[in-house]
Structure 1
Amino acid sequence: MNIRDIIEGKKEWRAHVARVKALPKDYQIVYKEIQRYYFKVGPVELTEDTGLLSGIVDLFEEGAALGKGVLQVTGNDVAAFCDDLIKDSKTYADIYQEPADQEVNKAMKKWTDKIK
């Protein structure tokens, strides 16, 4: 990553934050909780241009334009809404889990081969 990529990334993030700040207050509150949730859960493609957070802002802008309350868009169970959006996405937990599973499988194979 070169300096231009970093600068461009910062510009994109600032534009994203400006879009969030333009949302009605209830949307902002729920967006920040969703963002906090995703930073904990760790979906890999979180902030790319076509990524998850931009898609949520698009959805929220559309809901706000239609005069809907944020919970009419997400439903009352916001965590379930979040989980549903990433159900087919790779998370950082998945990335860390794969080598651990491989090591356990390798060790178990060695152990079972010894006792045979």
Structure 2
Amino acid sequence: MSLSNLAAKIIGEKKRWRAYKARTKALPPPYRTTVDAIERYLMNSGETPTDGVQLVMLFEDLADLFEGAAADGTPIRDLVGGDPVEFAETFARTYSDGGWIAKERARLARTIDEIADDRS
């Protein structure tokens, strides 16, 4: 990838991110607060894609979901269910790009499998 293509990609993702933030800021308070909480959780959990395009797509789709829910008057609990952590992680998993946490999980499983096979 050329330097100009890389710069265009970074600038494009930055514009999309700013547009996402503007969309979520426009949500009614309970929906905005929920999206902000989910965003904060996902950004700190390691559950988000490491690819910038996938990451922005995840959050744009989250904004779509909450904009639709706000327009329909869907209660927050009906949207996220009884376990908001499970909701956030399941939502993010559909955008997985094999980020570092997925690689570490696979590495851990392989290591234990190898050790278990050696002891048999």
TM-score bin (small chain) = 0.7 to 0.9
Q: Percent identity?
A: 27
2:100 pairs with 1:92:
yes
Question: CA–CA distance in 1 between the matches of 2:60 and 2:87?
Answer: 15
Relative to the length of structure 1, the TM-score reads 0.72
Larger relative contact order (CA 8 Å, sep ≥ 6): 2
Which one has the largest radius of gyration?
Answer: 1
- What is the match of residue 67 of structure 2? 61
- What is the match of residue 34 of structure 1? 38
Counterpart residue type for residue 43 of structure 1:
T
Deviations 1:69-106 (A, max 9, x none): 32332224211222332455445311123334445555
2:81–2:87 Cα contact (<8 Å) kept: yes
- What is the match of residue 13 of structure 1? 17
1:47–1:54 Cα contact (<8 Å) kept: no
Question: CA–CA distance in 1 between the matches of 2:68 and 2:115?
Answer: 52
- What is the match of residue 43 of structure 1? 48
Question: CA–CA distance in 1 between the matches of 2:55 and 2:93?
Answer: 20
Relative to the length of structure 2, the TM-score reads 0.70
RMSD over aligned Cα atoms: 3.0
Question: CA–CA distance in 2 between the matches of 1:105 and 1:68?
Answer: 45
Deviations 1:32-90 (A, max 9, x none): 11112212142326763773222111110001111233233222421122233245544
1:63–1:73 Cα contact (<8 Å) kept: yes
Query: Which consecutive residues of structure 1, in runs of 5 or more, have no partner in the other structure?
Result: none
Q: Which has the higher helix share?
A: 2
